[in-house]
Amino acid sequence: MAQDHTQGIGTRCVQAGYTPGNGEPRQIPIVQSTTFKYDTGAGMGALFDLEAEGYFYTRLQNPTNDYVAGKICALEGGTAAMLTSSGQAANFFSVFNICECGGHVVASSAIYGGTFNLLAHTMAKMGIQTTFVSPDCSDEELEAAFKPNTKCVLGETIANPALAVLDIDRFAKAAHNHGVPLIVDNTFPTPVNCRPIEWGADIVTHSTTKYMDGHGTAVGGAIVDSGNFDWMAHADKFPGLTTPDESYHGIVYAERFGQGGAFITKATSQLMRDFGSIQSPQHAFYLNLGLESLHVRMPQHCANGMALAEFLSNHPKVESVSYPNLPGDKYYDLAKKYLPNGGCGVVSFCVTGGRATAERVMAALRLCAIETHVADARTCCLHPASTTHRQMSDEELMAAGVAPGMIRLSCGLENTEDLLSDVAQALEQA
Ligand SMILES: *Cc1c(COP(=O)(O)O)cnc(C)c1O
């Protein structure tokens, strides 16, 4: 995928990934077909052997998905990318592609509840152990988390819902010192506000369900490879990429597809083949519509987030506010470094009176709807302790930065004054 990285982020949002030829459709075609026709069996056989490039079955690849993956690849500044059926699938694939039974992961403890469950419980059952470290841990603590069988480090640029900012530079250096890649889930800031690859991340993942779609339309995910990690230099750690794959007649991914293509080709040809978590072409089309305005929407989400954070930080019924771009926030310095143009529209705050008051505030909101969602055009809110994070013990909750009285409010694209007056009247009533 040749990308023009000199273009502005907005131009890439609108135009990257698909360039129609003369007389071809202006909007990306939805290739609503499960399969593709070939003239000879031998021609199709070459695809099965990964000797030729092309489409043969939509469980592995579809042109519509590839146009959109190409756009996300250009936005993040990567060398290859793929879409998945969900953000969960993206994070699972990104880890499992290089970390199998007997492997070990170092992960930030401040991550999305679903990713925490995936690593702490489901992947543990597959024989993959995870050591969680606070994103604020000391260099010594981070160092101590690594083991000889560590295969990757994982964190979120802005953690959902704790809103901790990952020191990407520091985590990347630690990962690289141990010969493993850093995987960063960049869902919240999107590449409009932060491009983790520029700070040393090797693999970037997304729940495209959030801002990228942005309209609450389609669940989806994406994985982008920076092409910067030298698998061959650490061949003993990553045999899946550096030794023959018997399910493809002995192909060695890192040799055949190079540093820039090996990771995504392996994830597509093994994991998509076997797990089948493909995004539907129809969803990819919706996702692309969202991406076309991502650079226009993000500043408004951020402006609303900042206005709400400022309002809440001066409110007597509010104990604490987390918003990385708010001066005085614990993560303000990291936000200045990694998110100088804004982070996201999500604000977390704790009301005085804990869980009970939080529930009353939620019930009194009119414009802000209670939803298990964030990053939508419409403002929505959630009480994590009783919903997304309810499987966690109190200790795990605190480690993930989730207090019982915390409300996560995702500012949409409404007029700022309407949003503020809704929150004001809800706090007044509670
Ligand atoms: C929502 C979310 C996910 C999971 O994505 P789905 O599309 O819901 O599967 C992963 N990471 C982060 C940061 C998220 O916000």
pTM reported for the whole predicted model: 0.95
Q: How far apart are CA 213 and CA 201, in angstroms?
A: 23
Return the best residue to mutate from 156, 166, 207, 380 for the ligand 1 pocket (most ligand atoms within 8 A of CB): 207
Mean per-residue pLDDT for 37-64? 89
108 in contact with ligand 1, CB cutoff 6 A: no
Return the best residue to mutate from 210, 277, 374, 382 for the ligand 1 pocket (most ligand atoms within 8 A of CB): 210
Find, among 370, 404, 398, the residue nearest to 384 by Cα.
404
Q: How far apart are CA 243 and CA 235, in angstroms?
A: 8
Q: Which of 42-56, 195-209, 300-314 has the lowest mean pLDDT?
A: 42-56
266-318 pLDDT, tens digit each: 999 999 999 999 999 999 999 999 999 999 999 999 999 999 999 999 999 99
Mean per-residue pLDDT for 9-25? 97
Using pLDDT thresholds of 50, 70 and 90, give the confidence band for residue 88.
very high
112 in contact with ligand 1, CB cutoff 6 A: yes
Mean per-residue pLDDT for 352-379? 92
Q: How far apart are CA 51 and CA 352, in angstroms?
A: 63
Give residue 207 CA to ligand 1 midpoint distance, Å. 4
Instruction: From residue 148, give the alpha-carbon distance in Å to each of 151, 152, 237, 313, 344.
Output: 9, 11, 9, 45, 36
Find, among 410, 379, 295, 382, the residue nearest to 16 by Cα.
295
Percent helix, strand, coil in the chain, to 5, is 40, 15, 45
Mean per-residue pLDDT for 59-80? 97
CATH number of 9-290: 3.40.640.10
Position 384 scores a pLDDT of 81
Instruction: From residue 257, give the alpha-carbon distance in Å to each of 96, 222, 231, 249.
Output: 19, 20, 12, 15
Contact 338, 190 (CB under 8 A): no
Look over the chain and give the mean of its residue pLDDT values, rounded to a whole number. Answer: 94
Share of the chain above pLDDT 70, in %: 98
Using pLDDT thresholds of 50, 70 and 90, give the confidence band for residue 1.
very low
Using pLDDT thresholds of 50, 70 and 90, give the confidence band for residue 34.
very high
Q: What angle do CA 147, 253, 225 make, to 5 degrees?
A: 70
185 in contact with ligand 1, CB cutoff 6 A: yes
Q: Whose CA is nearest to atom 15 of ligand 1?
A: 160
Give residue 46 CA to ligand 1 midpoint distance, Å. 36
Give residue 21 CA to ligand 1 midpoint distance, Å. 35
388 in contact with ligand 1, CB cutoff 6 A: no
- Domain edges within the chain: 9-290, 296-429
Backbone φ and ψ of 165, nearest 5°:
-100, 130
Return the best residue to mutate from 85, 92, 111, 112 for the ligand 1 pocket (most ligand atoms within 8 A of CB): 112
Using pLDDT thresholds of 50, 70 and 90, give the confidence band for residue 2.
very low
Spell out the residues 6+ positions from residue 422 whose beta carbon is closer than 8 angstroms to its own.
Answer: 365, 366, 367, 368, 379
Contact 342, 334 (CB under 8 A): no
- Per-residue pLDDT for 55 more than 60? yes
207 in contact with ligand 1, CB cutoff 6 A: yes
Position 161 scores a pLDDT of 83
Give 238: exposed, middle or buried? Use CB within 10 Å, 0-12, 13-18, 19+: buried
Residues in the chain: 430
Q: How far apart are CA 219 and CA 213, in angstroms?
A: 8
Position 203 scores a pLDDT of 98
E strand segments, 50-99: 80-84
Mean per-residue pLDDT for 107-135? 96
- Per-residue pLDDT for 376 more than 70? yes
Instruction: Using the CB atoms, write b or e for 120-151: b if 16+ within 10 Å.
Output: beebeeeebbbbbbebbbeeeebeebbeeebb
Find, among 325, 375, 335, 380, the residue nearest to 160 by Cα.
375
- Same CATH topology for 9-290 and 296-429: the answer is no
114 in contact with ligand 1, CB cutoff 6 A: yes
Q: How far apart are CA 216 and CA 198, in angstroms?
A: 29
Give residue 89 CA to ligand 1 midpoint distance, Å. 9
Q: How far apart are CA 146 and CA 123, in angstroms?
A: 18
Contact 331, 162 (CB under 8 A): no
Position 6 scores a pLDDT of 79
Instruction: From residue 427, give the alpha-carbon distance in Å to each of 157, 223, 225, 293, 421.
Output: 30, 40, 44, 33, 10
User: 3.10.20.90, 3.30.565.10, 3.30.930.10, 3.90.1150.10: which CATH number matches 296-429?
Assistant: 3.90.1150.10
The H or E element that residue 348 is part of is strand 346-351
Per the DSSP assignment, residues forming a β-bridge with 206 are 222
Using pLDDT thresholds of 50, 70 and 90, give the confidence band for residue 356.
confident
Give residue 354 CA to ligand 1 midpoint distance, Å. 26
Q: Whose CA is nearest to atom 1 of ligand 1?
A: 207
Position 394 scores a pLDDT of 67
Position 5 scores a pLDDT of 61
Position 320 scores a pLDDT of 95
Tell me, rounded to whole angstroms, the distance of Cα 72 from its chain centroid: 11
149-168 pLDDT, tens digit each: 999 999 999 998 889 999 99
Position 49 scores a pLDDT of 82
Q: Whose CA is nearest to atom 6 of ligand 1?
A: 87
- Per-residue pLDDT for 253 more than 60? yes
Give residue 214 CA to ligand 1 midpoint distance, Å. 13
Return the best residue to mutate from 209, 301, 389 for the ligand 1 pocket (most ligand atoms within 8 A of CB): 209
Give residue 230 CA to ligand 1 midpoint distance, Å. 28
Compute the chain's Rg from CA coordinates. Answer: 22
Instruction: Using the CB atoms, write b or e for 157-175: b if 16+ within 10 Å.
Output: bbbbbbbbbbbbbbbbebb
Contact 83, 284 (CB under 8 A): yes
Q: Whose CA is nearest to atom 8 of ligand 1?
A: 87
Find, among 198, 114, 161, the residue nearest to 324 by Cα.
161
Return the best residue to mutate from 187, 193, 373 for the ligand 1 pocket (most ligand atoms within 8 A of CB): 187
Position 337 scores a pLDDT of 98
